[in-house]
A = this chain, B = another copy of it.
Amino acid sequence: MRPYSACGALEHDELAKLEALSRSNCYAQRQQLFAQDEDAHSVYNITSGSVRLYRLLPDGRRQVVGFAIPGDFLGLSLAERTVYGAEALTSVTVCRFDREQFSSFVDEHPQLLRRLYDLANHELSLAQEQMVLIGRRTAEERVICFLVGLRKRWSHINNNSVTVPLPMTRQDIADFLGLTIETVSRAISKLARERALLVVPDGVRLLDVARLEAVAAG
């Protein structure tokens, strides 16, 4: 795990010190990294695989608040308790840090803290984007935004491919977009019928990228 994109603020030797605090770790598909509302032990950096982040209402309704892919961090809030659960969508490998140790390291490196602060504010902006998506867009628009946005996130990793991996189930997508599984399925089928995309095993291939990105932007 070299990039440490969140840690660009660190000098080489500081980076080495941080790396010394980390432990590599694996999770099987469907295994939980951590649950909602439990004590937070660790900070995670995903090195391979995908993770879903979700919140539950007491009556069982679920909202997926995000998906983590390689390079993403979890638990950076450094809060004592988790506010969402995290579950492996595929088999997952992570670099894990002890939360207390990581927190102390951060306190000793204000430049890193400043970088994390900017990162958190960027996340906040994305969360607001998601509010607009769920609150003010139609079902088809939500699905398109989801696919286009996910492709953009993968583009750094898979060389800008038009094939978007979808390791999550339709249920996960639905719970992310505030829809039902059937509505997501219908939206994807409609786009496939219109030759805007092609459904492939464990993903979709975007065919009419221009059209899809126009809808996502509009």
The answer for the CA separation of A90 and B32 in the assembled complex, in Å, is 47
Indicate if the CB atoms of A116 and B117 lie closer than 8 Å. yes
Q: Which residues of B contact A137 (CB under 8 A)?
A: 57, 61
Indicate if the CB atoms of B58 and A218 lie closer than 8 Å. yes
Q: Is A14 located at the chain interface by the 8 A CB criterion? A: no
Q: Which residues of B contact A58 (CB under 8 A)?
A: 217-218
Candidate in A110, A121, A177 with the most chain B CB atoms within 10 angstroms: A121
* 0 or 1 for each of A77-110: is its CB under 8 Å from B? (1 = yes): 1110001100000000000000000000011001
Q: Which residues of B contact A218 (CB under 8 A)?
A: 57-59
Q: Is A130 located at the chain interface by the 8 A CB criterion? A: yes
Q: Mark out the residues of chain A between 192 and 218 whose CB falls within 8 Å of any chain B CB in the assembled complex.
A: 217-218
| Complex: chain B residue closest to A53, CB-CB | B128
Q: Is A39 located at the chain interface by the 8 A CB criterion? A: no
Indicate if the CB atoms of A84 and B128 lie closer than 8 Å. yes
Given A78-B118, A120-B117, A124-B124, are A136 and B84 also a contact pair (CB < 8 Å)?
no
Given A83-B125, A120-B124, are A132 and B59 also a contact pair (CB < 8 Å)?
no
* Chain A interface mostly: helix
Q: Which residues of B contact A116 (CB under 8 A)?
A: 117
With A57-B136, A58-B217, A113-B113 given, name 15 new contacts (CB 8 A).
A55-B132, A57-B137, A59-B218, A62-B136, A63-B135, A77-B118, A77-B121, A77-B125, A110-B113, A117-B117, A124-B127, A130-B131, A135-B178, A136-B175, A136-B178
Given A131-B65, A132-B57, are A113 and B121 also a contact pair (CB < 8 Å)?
no
* 0 or 1 for each of A120-146: is its CB under 8 Å from B? (1 = yes): 110111011111101111000000000
* 0 or 1 for each of A36-76: is its CB under 8 Å from B? (1 = yes): 00000000000000000001011101110100000000001
Return 12 A-B CB contacts under 8 Å, by A number. Answer: A55-B131, A58-B218, A59-B218, A61-B137, A63-B136, A76-B121, A78-B121, A79-B118, A110-B113, A123-B124, A134-B134, A136-B178
